[in-house]
Amino acid sequence: MTRKAVYPGTFDPVTYGHLDVIKRAAQLYDRVFVAVAHSAEKSPLFSAKERVQMMAEAAKGLENVEVEDFDGLVVDYAVSKSARVVLRGLRMISDFEYEFQMALTNRKLNSDVETVFMMPNESYSYLSSKLIKEVARLGADVSEFVPGNVDAKLKEKLRK
């Protein structure tokens, strides 16, 4: 049996924290589908297409990782990939409440799909896409927190 997992998120943009989770998952599962949510309600800085491109480039060396966009329910996406696992990252206790609610909601929607949480290396546990956008907008150097291609895209986007 092929062990497959789906890692859904907005990834606006992808950070080293997300990549840390993806690398850990790539060692545990045969195939990992990174699912970039359209998340129109969150008014992302980058379009879904841009977020997929940035993620695909950042995850290029990981042979068993595939990246695509999706819209709709995560559990339906997982079923479409015949994956039974949805991965989410947990940074701090502050992530817990929302993630807990979402995991139980997804279980109600489809009890065959299990949510699995992964903790990144502690050096990434304070990283968030939101904060990176905020400080980058104010001129901070974020090259320590995001891959080079994302750093370049952020500069390009925020200069406009």
x/- mask, ligand ADP, residues 65-94, rule CB under 6 A, reads -----------------------xx-x---
Nearer to ligand ADP, 6 or 31 (CB): 6
Residue 2 CB, nearest approach to ligand ADP (Å): 23
Which residues in 51-85 are b (16+ Cβ under 10 Å) and which e? bbbbbbebbeebeebebeebeeebbebbeebebbb
Nearer to ligand ADP, 4 or 34 (CB): 34
Residue 18, classed as helix, strand or coil, is helix
Instruction: Assess whether 18 carries a catalytic annotation.
Output: yes
Residue 51 CB, nearest approach to ligand ADP (Å): 9
Count of chain residues binding ligand ADP (CB under 6 A):
17
Binding status of residue 51 toward ligand ADP by CB under 6 A:
no
Calculate the alpha carbon distances from 83 to 44, 59, 71, 74, 145 in Å. Answer: 27, 20, 17, 11, 30
User: Phi, psi (5° rounding) for residue 15?
Assistant: -120, 175
Residue listed under structure tokens 């817990």: 96
**Strand locations in the chain (E):** 4-9, 31-37, 65-70, 85-89, 114-118
Is the link from the previous residue into 44 a cis peptide, with omega within 30 of 0? no
Instruction: Assess whether 129 carries a catalytic annotation.
Output: yes
Q: Which of 124, 147, 153, 154 binds ligand ADP (CB under 6 A)?
A: 124
Binding status of residue 128 toward ligand ADP by CB under 6 A:
yes
Q: Which of 4, 13, 18, 151 binds ligand ADP (CB under 6 A)?
A: 18
End-to-end CA separation in angstroms for the chain:
48
Active site positions, annotated: 18, 42, 91, 129
Q: For binding to ligand ADP (CB under 6 A), which residues are involved? A: 9-11, 15, 17-18, 21, 39, 88-89, 91, 95, 120, 124, 127-129
